[in-house]
Amino acid sequence: MLIFKALHILSMFAAVTFLIGEALFYAVAIWRGDVAGLAAVRRLVGGRPVAGVSFLVAGIVFGILAALNGGFDLFAGWLIAAYALVLALFAVNGSPSRYPLNPWL
């Protein structure tokens, strides 16, 4: 169905905008050596970007719905590669080593 494809594309675009935008702001503040700017980005974004992850999960759900309703082969090579990338994304970003016990590090 076309609505699921549109919602999938919009959700994924929003997720990338939120998640990459955060990293870009951090990178610019670090590159400039702007400690106050880095603190401001940290204060505005927070510890975990909930909005970006929410859009990512919504995009995954809409993508699965679009594949089921659109007549896609769920075991096509490009979809299996996408499944593996999404699992790797969640495994790496959700691993305990990414968030040390000391929050000041």
Domain count, the chain: 1
Q: In this structure, is residue 31 part of a structural domain?
A: yes
Q: Which residues contact 41 (CB under 8 A, 6 or more apart)?
A: 22, 25, 26, 29
Q: What is the pTM of this model?
A: 0.73
Domain range for 58:
2-73
Q: Tell me the average pLDDT across 55-83.
A: 90
Q: In this structure, is residue 101 part of a structural domain?
A: no
Q: How many helices (H) and strands (E) does the chain have?
A: 4, 0
pLDDT at 36: 92
Q: In this structure, is residue 83 part of a structural domain?
A: no
Q: In this structure, is residue 11 part of a structural domain?
A: yes
Q: In this structure, is residue 13 part of a structural domain?
A: yes
Q: In this structure, is residue 81 part of a structural domain?
A: no
Q: In this structure, is residue 29 part of a structural domain?
A: yes
Indicate whether 67 pLDDT > 60.
yes
Q: In this structure, is residue 34 part of a structural domain?
A: yes
Q: Tell me the average pLDDT across 25-50.
A: 84
